């Protein structure tokens, strides 16, 4: 696994949420990139900062009415494309 900064991890999770709204599918698909602990920590931080919201028990959604998705850095484009 590559070492990513906390900011990069949260960007990866946000773009993962855009692709997979179901939390279980999101975690399963991100496990090859990030540790489960990092995924959960990023989700919790994103919810706490209102960048992501929980819709029901299993569904996550980017809170685009509150904030936009961050710009995708060049070094993460291939990671996101391979999700």
pLDDT digits (tens, 9 = 90+) for 13-64: 999 999 998 999 999 999 999 999 999 999 999 999 999 999 988 999 999 8
Q: Report which of 7, 11, 3, 25 is spatially closest to residue 80, judged by C-alpha positions.
A: 11
The total domain count for the chain is 1
Phi, psi (rounded to 5 degrees) for 19: -85, -40
The pLDDT of residue 1? 61
Phi, psi (rounded to 5 degrees) for 2: -80, 145
Name the 3-class secondary structure at 1. Answer: coil
Given a cut of 90, whether residue 65 has pLDDT beyond it is no
Q: Which domain holds residue 10?
A: 6-81
CATH number of the domain enclosing 46: 1.10.10
What's the CA gap between 42 and 72, in Å, rounded? 16
What's the CA gap between 38 and 35, in Å, rounded? 5
Does residue 1 fall inside a structural domain?
Answer: no
């Amino acid at each position: 696994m590559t070492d990513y900064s906390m900011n990069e991890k949260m960007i990866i999770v946000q773009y993962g949420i855009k692709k997979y709204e179901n939390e279980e599918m999101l975690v399963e698909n991100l496990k090859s990139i990030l540790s489960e602990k990092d995924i959960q920590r990023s989700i919790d931080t994103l919810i706490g900062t209102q960048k992501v919201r929980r819709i029901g028990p299993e569904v996550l959604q980017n809170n685009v009415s509150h904030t936009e998705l961050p710009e995708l850095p060049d070094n993460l484009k291939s990671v996101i494309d391979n999700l």
